[in-house]
Amino acid sequence: MKEQLEQIAKLDVYEASIVTSEAGGLFLGRRGTEKLVGCVGEPCLPNAEKAGEIDGRCVCVGPCDHDNAVHLRRRLPWAGPKCIGLATSAGLGDRLGLATPGHVRAMREKGGGLAVFLAQQSIREMDRTRRTPEQVLDSATYGVIQEGYREGFGSDADHLQRPEDIDRTAAIGFTMFTIDPGAHVANDADLLYEPTLDWRATRVDLETLEASVDDLRMRYAGKAYPLAGGGSITLNDKDLMRAIVKYGDAVAHTVKMYRHLQQAATGPFELEVSVDETETPTTPAEHFFFASELKRLGVQWVSMAPRYVGRFEKGVDYIGDLGRFRASLAEHVAVMRTVGPYKMSIHSGSDKFSIYPVIAELTDGLVHVKTAGTSYLEALRAVAHTQPALFREVLQFARDRYETDRKTYHVSADLEKVPTAEDLALGDVDDAELTALLDQFDTRQVLHVTFGSVLTADGGALFRDRIYAALEADEEAHYAALAAHLGRHVQPFAKYAKT
């Protein structure tokens, strides 16, 4: 059928995309660098024009737009998102909307048994890249159809902080919602003395917590709570007051967002809770307080991302003492198994290769690893390989933007270690060496956090259009880079996968 479709539709058809049934069929193809979707027979795509006939059935072709994506998700359940639950999972964010085929290949080659989130982006990233929730979900739909990936995938409306963010993503069918109450975490709580802690505890949103400070004291202070696997956790009065001050308002905000989501959701949904983007680590006792309070107030969630010890900087490996991380994670896992079960979620999980084996072992598969910016970096690796002059321009622009764009990220790149335009012009870095810059700590972080500026500079015409053109012209180079790099992320978890 592939040859017939190509002849009639005048497309290069992706063979894996062809779906046939008694009622008709669907397929995806390219005409130049433009991707188009087609149908055979009825029901027809909403936006399509007749190209010809096969065996008396109409063959129509139309754009890969939102209306056609909605139609495809209705006809092909595996082309739309589903709830993943407690299955071992990886979130593979896609800032460009071109990465899904490469992500699928990574899962097939190295991530056997893992569930995957292929539509994942935060509202912050959508705003910075000028994408919409519809575009994020639609690009995943067309990507799985292109690859014939029928195992199903999740969609993650990531780092939601406002009710209106829930509304935007729930309306189009996202299935997981990551609540980020970080703005309500009191980062100074670790530095406060007892009298101030006692006073500050009375100022949290006790109404939403449906408890007084005395109620919380009676529930937690001085009690030893047995933990799964042995041991116990005890909050003395000072530790409890610190937990209330540090996380009380974050718990209350999460409760409010969850209740709003219950009203806004258009179908089954699941929740993740994240406090990873805060200044101080979450102690196991604070984790226990946070999770216990959510549970008491009726919140149901599938994964939680505390702020772990050490540094989870963007685009680079874990920075910190591995022994201390292991010991701390073991305590967090014990809390998770006691209050839950739910999955431990690893945010800023890109490129943390040194700790993946530890995380996989200690969680025994009750884990969700979230990546995003590393896929953008792999796109730039493909650009460096196929369009070295363009990559040089992007690198210099990113270097100039770094000090501004780094302010909302945990990074520590030293600009003095990143090549300048003069270095590149003088030939200190030749074309063949450009891709190696994507493996250098400082250059990776500079490129990682400046994605929004790069993709929207001068309305997007300066770099965005050229980057897309380069990736679309040689999509196999892009997919190969993604499959190789993301495969390293998912492989350590595959043998622990739980379904």
> DSSP secondary structure string, 353-421?
TTTHHHHHHHHTT-EEEEE-HHHHHHHHHHHHHH-HHHHHHHHHHHHHHHHHHGGGS-----GGGS--H
Helices 441-449/373-386 angle, 10° precision:
110
pLDDT of residue 425: 79
Residue 365 CA to residue 263 CA, distance in Å, equals 31
Question: What are the residue numbers of the active site?
Answer: 158, 272
Q: Which amino acid is at 337?
A: R
Query: For helices 373-386 and 388-405, what crossing angle results, to 10°?
Result: 150
- Token pair, residue 324, equals 């201390």
pLDDT of residue 174: 98
pLDDT at 82: 98
Tens digit of each residue's pLDDT, the chain (499 residues) = 899 999 999 999 999 999 998 878 999 999 999 999 999 998 899 999 999 999 899 999 999 999 999 999 999 999 999 999 999 999 999 999 999 999 999 999 999 999 999 999 999 999 999 999 999 999 999 999 999 999 999 999 999 999 999 999 999 999 999 999 999 999 999 999 999 999 999 999 999 999 999 999 999 999 999 999 999 999 999 999 999 999 999 999 999 999 999 999 999 999 999 999 888 999 999 999 999 999 999 999 999 999 999 999 999 999 999 999 999 999 999 999 999 999 999 999 999 999 999 999 999 999 999 999 999 999 999 999 999 999 999 999 999 999 999 998 889 999 999 999 888 877 788 888 999 999 999 999 999 999 999 999 998 889 999 999 999 999 999 999 999 999 999 999 999 998 8
List the domains of the chain with CATH numbers: 2-75 (no CATH), 78-187+219-373 (3.20.20.70), 375-485 (no CATH)
Whether residue 419 is preceded by a cis peptide bond, meaning omega within 30 degrees of 0, is no
β-strand partners of 202 = none
E strands present in 250-358: 270-274, 303-305, 343-346
How far is it, in rounded angstroms, from Cα 422 to Cα 400?
A: 13
CB atoms within 10 A of CB 172: 21
Other residues' Cβ atoms within 10 Å of the Cβ of residue 271: 22
| Cis before 43 (ω within 30) | yes
Residue in 298, 278, 270 with CA at minimum distance from that of residue 209: 298
Residue 1 token pair:
């059928």
pLDDT attached to residue 16: 98
**Inter-CA distances, 229 with 2, 275, 302, 342, 363, Å:** 56, 25, 20, 16, 12
Q: Are 312 and 410 in contact (CB under 8 A)?
A: yes
Beta-sheet pairing, 176-179 with 224-226: unpaired
Q: Say if CB 94 and CB 140 are below 8 A apart.
A: yes
Q: How far apart are the first and last CA of the chain?
A: 35
Q: For residue 489, give the nearest of 89, 59, 73 by alpha carbon.
A: 89
* CA-based nearest residue to 379, from 328, 302, 447: 447
| Pairing relationship of beta strands 343-346 and 224-226 according to DSSP bridges | unpaired
